[in-house]
Structure 1
């Protein structure tokens, strides 16, 4: 009898209800591949946007009617249970974490991935649930704060959406970098953002940061809730507005500010960076975890069979940190 795996397919773009459970043969790893038994995988805002085919212009790259790789999920953690003939970085029994990238398919029981991808051995300091989300909020936020915004110690940074997967990681990372952190959140989450390392908190239900006198060296809009035009007046003369949620408006702002003006809008497609670039960033993040400077925030953990419900909760806009399926 052929061994099978459980996964979730996306047959066309849409709401969480388009997710469909499927059973597939477990593949044999190719020469440079490893077969992973997945213990936990992330359910991210980026996963939801890909499932919905948003923004629409992204379909030119993902696929016009559905993603070309029609399986769900990117971030994962698990154990290596089989390896190809030419493997050098991993062995059967290794506990690993990382991401499937544009291959997708991490919301599953098993996956085959090339060892040259964004995969690392999991440190004992990380649970499978924590490790599964490291390539979402922590990795993206480290890239945007350190590489894209070029945040430096002593600078003032405003993090919009400080309680989400990206924001909760960004507050901790920016604080560890020596920046003065202000975070926006609802009033009920103020204690959480304070505990993560923010020195000032803005309740977005009561205050509008654009109407205040404070100026920031970096504004990191983790959820695309603002724009460069709206945030520009709250930046210092050399301030940088960075946002991982690409839109045509952001793209235009990036191009225009690159040509004129001292305030800049910047963007990076973190998930498209080469594995050789991302793996050292993951190593930096795992050291931060081991040093007690970073702890992934987990909001809810669902069984893999409840992936639709996990996507629904992820899209409510009220999650605190990360959503995981096991």
Structure 2
């Protein structure tokens, strides 16, 4: 196996660094030390990354629980981002199943940099024919979507499914995955994203501004909520008698400590006492789910809905557009031309 202590002669690397909490004004593109991996890790030369809502929560420090966990005034880990793709530069002596030169997708802290250290349980090899750009969209957003549709909602053929936030990063994958199961999918999104959501497999699109009342949506066997922030009792009005409600992510509703994460907790606490099935998805980063998604991309059963591919010098602007919900599907930031 590769000696990690001498895996690269480069001492510093370019990275997207966070200096406090707020908007993209707290980010900059700086030089940072190349990380030193352990024997149980791999070192990856990063080619592309993809921001997600978690990137925004960590940048803004909202909910406040983020600051309690990561640092009150600024993050203790200054390099941002989780989802990446690249080529393995070095393999630890205790790592099996990966080799130098493998193209991989995965998630790790401090991913938005030229080099990242990752654990084998959170990376998967990219199949031939799948671009780095497409693969970069999967590790966080698509994995969350898969766990929401497959594990949380348990979507089955013939069910009526409402995806709230269907035009976003996670929602674009949930819409496709639910439709692939044979469900009759309705997507909720802004009017400007309606055509995009239909292209993902939705049979119907609800404009959340024009039709804000659940009484006007219809009744659904499954509602997967990834953006709206409405109270649980309000969303339950649009469920069939034994319907399922899945809460995904932590939107900006609720108090400053937990924001929307408190709805996830309340859904699980309320579930034993109501006829509806109420649950929440806490995304679990793992190589098995990522491998499933990469294979679906390779087989043409899933597409990476890439709205924007930005170069490194356009990274902060791309993150800003994501923070203001101006991205349909996913944005990708290329650190190398080889990402294509």
Map of 2:253 onto structure 1: none
Cα 1:309–1:235 shift into 2, 3 Å: same
Give distance in 2, aligned partners of 1:209 and 1:291: 39
1:131-176 CA distance string (max 9 Å, x none): 1110222110110111112222221110111111111111100011
Which of 196, 203, 220 aligns to 1:199? It is 203
Alignment of 1:83-102 (within 5 A): 83-100=91-108
SS of the equivalent of 1:135 reads helix
- Give the conservation status (yes or no) of the 8 Å contact 1:137–1:170: no
Q: Distance in 2 between matches of 1:213 and 1:76?
A: 37
Asked if residue 110 in structure 1 is aligned to residue 115 in structure 2, the reply is yes
- SS of 2:72 mapped into structure 1: coil
Matched, 1:236 2:245: no
- Aligned residue number for residue 278 of structure 2: 265
Q: 2:168 aligns to what?
A: 164
1:32 aligned to which of 35, 40, 51: 40
Change over 3 Å in CA distance of 1:239–1:112 after alignment to 2: same
1:310 paired residue among 284, 298, 318: 318
Q: Is the 8 A contact 2:166 2:174 kept in 1?
A: yes
Query: 2:127·2:295 contact (CA, 8 Å) conserved in 1?
Result: no
CA distance in 2, matches of 1:2, 1:123: 29
Correspondence for 1:59 among 67, 77, 93: 67
The TM-score normalised by the length of structure 2 is: 0.87
Q: Which residue of 2 aligns with 1:122?
A: 126
1-side partners of 2:229 and 2:267: how far apart? 17
Flag the 1:164–1:67 CA change in 2: closer, same or farther, 3 A.
same
Q: Which moved more, 1:6-15 or 1:252-261?
A: 252-261
- Aligned mates of 1:87, 1:252 — CA distance in 2: 37
> What secondary structure sits across from 1:7 in the alignment?
strand
CA distance in 2, matches of 1:306, 1:213: 39
Instruction: State the shift of 1:255 in Å.
Output: 4.0
Please name the residue that 1:211 is paired with.
215
Distance in 2 separating the partners of 1:28 and 1:257: 45
Is residue 22 of structure 2 the alignment partner of residue 14 of structure 1? Answer: yes
d(CA) in 1 for partners of 2:269 and 2:117? 42
Please say which of residues 215-224 and 34-43 is displaced more in the overlay. 215-224
Do the aligned partners of 2:55 and 2:80 also contact (CA within 8 Å) in 1? yes
**Matched residues in 1 for 2:112 and 2:30: separation?**
11
Deviations 1:161-209 (A, max 9, x none): 1111111111100011111100012233222211211111112232235
CA shift, 1:248, in A, is: 5.3
The verdict on how the C-alpha distance between 1:248 and 1:213 changes in structure 2, with shifts beyond 3 A counting, is closer
Q: CA–CA distance in 1 between the matches of 2:261 and 2:182?
A: 33
- Alpha-carbon separation, structure 2, partners of 1:2 and 1:210: 56
* Structure 1, unpaired ranges of 5+: none
Cα deviations by residue, 1:35-91 (Å, 9 ceiling, x for unpaired):
111110011111011111111133332333333322101000011122222321211
- Between the aligned partners of 1:43 and 1:209, the Cα distance in structure 2 is 31
Alignment of 1:147-162 (within 5 A): 147-162=151-166
